[in-house]
Copies of this chain bind each other. A is one copy, B any other.
Amino acid sequence: MLIVMDRSATGQDVERVVAAAERLGLKAHPIPGAQRTAIGLTGNKGTIGPAAFENLPGVFEVIRVSHPYKLVSREFHPEDTIVSIGGVPIGGTALAVMAGPCAVESRDQMLAVAREVQRLGARLLRGGAFKPRTSPYSFQGLGEEGLKLLAEARDATGLPVVTEVLDTENVDLVAAWADGLQIGARNMQNFELLKKAGRTGKPILLRRGMSATLEEFLLAAEYVMAEGNPNVILCERGVRTFSDFTRNTLDLAIVPAVERLSHLPILVDPSHGTGRRHKVVPMSRAAIAAGADGVAVEVHHRPEEALSDGPQALRPGRFAQMMADLQKVAEAVGRTL
């Protein structure tokens, strides 16, 4: 931490800060400048926050210098982590394409979509059995029945299944049926859910909150890892900004940012990230070009009848085009599909 003193701070004020730091076991390094004094603090194990100093007389500002996350950090784990979901690796040279409907709606729908995406090259199956919906009057998902249909689709196609868990009470149920658990954007800071999902040991697909900073995102992953679960996959799905021509603003620069700070793999979801079907394919290409480890996209064989998020789902034909496009971009960046 760095403590910046007021211009009008007295020598006594500086001494008081130094004493407070020493009481907390830190070492204080005053740096007298022409106009004001700054005080560098070292020896902090990350448990002492700015609050311990911000209220002392003469303190103008307290600036935190080091990052509060550890397990997710590349500084502590320089090599890339590869997470396996049901045998499919995420994070290495091969890109992962996860595809499926927004919501599991019926046996016919789920099997039809699963077979299409498998045939067209997807490596993982997605689909929501428990759906977080803005309105209480919208379709809330099939629940356990949906989990069974996902498992049936896995059996039919061989594709491992990732599905969202909404609540601590259902963690065990979802973990019993799925190969990977998704924590949705609205739950990125549902810390009890992060802990309980982490304790299952299952791979966790952690989606960025709509207004999460990178640090908050990495700290949410840290919650999972602190439970002893190293299998975390990050997923950018767009953030909320003033920009109104897409449903969310896909913040693709997080891909190289995560690569620099963390060893965890990162996917991009251009379906939620744009909310518009005709932007999904170009933004999936952009994600791979930026260095993402794969994409998660919504596919529906009859999107006009989808019970949830129809406008952003790809039909199989356009999904096939996306796969062909990604094939070429993958080669351009030295990856394989």
Contacts and interface: CB of A to CB of B under 8 A. Distances in A.
Contacts of A251: 241, 243, 249
Interface stretch (A105-113, A147-155, A207-215): A207-215
A80 interface: no
Interface in A182-238: 186-187, 189-193, 210-211, 213-216, 219, 222-223, 226
Given A40-B2, A285-B289, A137 B190 contact: no
B256 A214 contact: no
B189 A167 contact: no
A250 B56 CA distance: 26
Contacts of A159: none
B283 A253 contact: yes
Interface string A290-321: 11000000000001111011110000000000
A189 B134 contact: yes
A12 interface: no
A166 interface: yes
B137 A46 contact: yes
A168 interface: yes
A222 B135 CA distance: 8
A136 B253 contact: no
Interface string A127-152: 00000111111101000000000000
Interface in A35-69: 35-36, 38, 40, 42-43, 46-47, 49-56, 61, 63, 65-66, 68-69
Contacts of A279: 253, 256-257
Contact of A243 (B32, B213, B246, B328): B213
B254 A252 contact: no
B257 A245 contact: yes
Interface stretch (A84-92, A117-125, A172-180, A329-337): A329-337
Contacts of A11: none
Nearest to A210: B211
B311 A50 contact: yes
B40 A38 contact: yes
A184 to B, nearest CB: 9
Contacts of A256: 278-279, 282-283
A244 B2 contact: no
A205 to B, nearest CB: 18
A306 B49 CA distance: 10
Interface in A249-280: 249-257, 260, 273-274, 277-279
23 contacts: A31-B42, A35-B66, A38-B65, A52-B304, A134-B216, A135-B222, A136-B219, A166-B191, A214-B243, A239-B241, A239-B242, A239-B243, A241-B251, A253-B282, A253-B283, A256-B282, A285-B290, A285-B333, A286-B287, A288-B289, A325-B332, A328-B332, A329-B329
Given A55-B277, A169-B192, A325-B333, 19 more contacts: A34-B42, A35-B66, A55-B311, A56-B304, A63-B65, A133-B191, A135-B219, A135-B222, A136-B191, A140-B191, A166-B190, A166-B191, A213-B243, A249-B249, A253-B273, A253-B283, A257-B279, A283-B290, A289-B329
